[in-house]
Structure 1
Amino acid sequence: MTSRFTELTVDCHDPERLAAFWCAVLDFEVIDRGEDKVEIGSWVPTVEAVRARQMPPTLVFIRVPEGKTAKNRLHLDVSPIDRGTDEEVERLLALGATTVDVGQGPGRSWVVMADPEGNEFDVLRTLAAPE
């Protein structure tokens, strides 16, 4: 048997704030809380469900004392499903994201953004049904 991708962990200063941001971005819910950590997901994993099939990973936000010092080597990509990319970028800006330049250059089909703690992510093409 192989392994399953079950969680992606993000180091941060404020797990509650970052979890709230990503819940709003992804329409996830908090599924677990502990001292200095918050886990969010689109489903509540069980051992049986994880063994049975590949499911979307959860996001776990862990409090750490150090700050972010360089460009992420791993980042999330998101695709809007019910609006255009530009409208999604505006929504994410209102939630506390910022646009960032990581050397991507002009004319790209995606937008590089950062969450409230500076972790980069990309907003890709829309998956909304054509009007």
Structure 2
Amino acid sequence: MTSRFTELTVDCGDPERLAAFWCAVLDFKVIDRREGKVEIGSWVPTVEDIRARQMPPTLQFIQVPEGKTAKNRLHLDVSPIDGSTEDEVSRLLGLGATRADTDHGADRTWVVMADIEGNEFCVVRTLAPQRD
């Protein structure tokens, strides 16, 4: 017997707005929408695909009445695929993200940011092909 990691759920105040932000960040599409919930992903999950192999998880944004009150215990890391980490940070700032105040030291290789509802995430190493 085994389980699959199928989705990551984020509690939020405005699922539509937060889903739109993360769709722009990740180039995902809305794959399900119900009252108080929006699910986004890079593919449309089917039971057959999920049973056959581990597939990329989707993100679900669920509306809750309370706001964020503390640092996330779980956060997303994103890796740019066609530009530098600095270029991606600039793009994300343009989408409404902010830099998060952290004390990780000057030699860190990632940038801590917050999405439009204050959820922390990191921009880590670039996966873009290196130019000679």
Aligned equivalent of 1:66: 66
Whole-angstrom CA distance in 2 between matches of 1:120 and 1:104? 14
Give, in angstroms, the shift of residue 127 of structure 1: 0.3
Point out where structure 2 has 5 or more consecutive residues left out of the alignment: none
Aligned equivalent of 1:106: 106
Aligned equivalent of 2:85: 85
Whole-angstrom CA distance in 2 between matches of 1:93 and 1:107? 22
Whole-angstrom CA distance in 1 between matches of 2:68 and 2:74? 13
Whole-angstrom CA distance in 1 between matches of 2:37 and 2:104? 32
Aligned equivalent of 2:42: 42
Aligned residues: 131
Q: Deviations over 1:1-36 (max 9, x none)?
A: 210000000000000000000000000000000000
Whole-angstrom CA distance in 1 between matches of 2:49 and 2:88? 32
Between the aligned residues of both structures, percent identity stands at 79
Whole-angstrom CA distance in 2 between matches of 1:130 and 1:105? 26
Point out where structure 1 has 5 or more consecutive residues left out of the alignment: none
Whole-angstrom CA distance in 2 between matches of 1:47 and 1:72? 30
Whole-angstrom CA distance in 2 between matches of 1:32 and 1:98? 27
Aligned equivalent of 1:19: 19
1:127 aligns with 2:127: yes
Q: TM-score, normalised by structure 2?
A: 0.97
Give, in angstroms, the shift of residue 107 of structure 1: 1.9
Contact 1:40 1:59 in 2 (8 A): yes
Q: What is the aligned-residue RMSD (CA, Å)?
A: 0.7
Give, in angstroms, the shift of residue 101 of structure 1: 1.7
| Equivalent position amino acid for 1:109 in 2 | T
Aligned equivalent of 1:56: 56
Say which is worse superposed, 1-10 or 98-107, in terms of deviation.
98-107
| Equivalent position amino acid for 1:13 in 2 | G
